Amino acid sequence: METLIDVRGLTKAFVLHNRNEARIPVLDDVNLSVAAGECVALAGPSGAGKSTLLRCLYGNYLASAGAVCIRHEGAWVDLARAAPREILAVRLRSLGYVSQFLRVIPRVSTLDVVAEPLRELGIEAAAARTRAANLLARLHLPEYLWHLPPATFSGGEQQRVNIARGLIAKKPVLLLDEPTASLDVANAGRVADLIDEARRNGTAIVGIFHDTVIRDRLATRLHAVSTQPQEIPA
């Protein structure tokens, strides 16, 4: 299968200028390739840099050195060097991200929050809402919540809204930060079904899953994150 993510020599350190220039090294020479149809689970203890790696892959953390290449419309874009508008174009069509927590926009209904990635691709409002409704129904989010803004929802409800938003546009590369952390077993299972379905349809996935049952079910491979990176066979 085609490689969609190619990370070479990624190094990330945070320099805290207002704390005596303290330098916190997090990632050192990370190499990672992910092909279409693969789901790579990042493994390692808290503080090892799993979330930092995921954010470097999305481009909201700036690499200190190395290359973070994402396949976009038949070409490679290195997020460590790309201009902001190139990164936005990659995110629009090729790169999806499900963060741990939903960043709520005041007043926007759940249905529109989920439909937004399709609207951004130019899909007409009614069609986008229909697809959003189908996805929310599959995630068993009660229908009376669809027309409310998700600000007051429970953690598990917000997380399902966030996942629906991340999956709806079927972007070829998907980054998942603890997608089932606030869910009960039944709901976690439904989310896992959708993620696995996306992978079988050719999505390249990198995720952090603390729930080992979910991780073993979804991951085709583990990638250990530490200062001495190594691949562990699944």
Interface residues with another protein (CB under 8 A) are 14, 16-18, 55, 59-62, 84-85, 87-88, 105-108, 119-120
How far CA 43 is from CA of 195, 218, 233, in Å, comes to 18, 13, 12
Least Cβ distance, residue 170 to another protein (angstroms)? 21
Nearest-angstrom CA–CA distance, 215 and 40:
9
Cβ nearer to another protein, comparing 107 with 233: 107
Nearest-angstrom CA–CA distance, 44 and 62:
21
Cβ nearer to another protein, comparing 116 with 193: 116
Helix (H, G, I), strand (E, B) or coil at 45: coil
Cβ nearer to another protein, comparing 87 with 174: 87
Give the number of other CB atoms < 10 A from CB of residue 19. Answer: 9
Cβ nearer to another protein, comparing 103 with 233: 103
Contact between residue 126 and residue 118 where contact means Cβ atoms under 8 Å apart: no
Least Cβ distance, residue 51 to another protein (angstroms)? 11
Cβ nearer to another protein, comparing 18 with 228: 18
Least Cβ distance, residue 168 to another protein (angstroms)? 17
Helix (H, G, I), strand (E, B) or coil at 109: coil
Which helix (H) or strand (E) segment holds residue 85: the answer is helix 84-93
Contact between residue 7 and residue 32 where contact means Cβ atoms under 8 Å apart: yes
Least Cβ distance, residue 102 to another protein (angstroms)? 14
Least Cβ distance, residue 83 to another protein (angstroms)? 9
Nearest-angstrom CA–CA distance, 103 and 24:
27
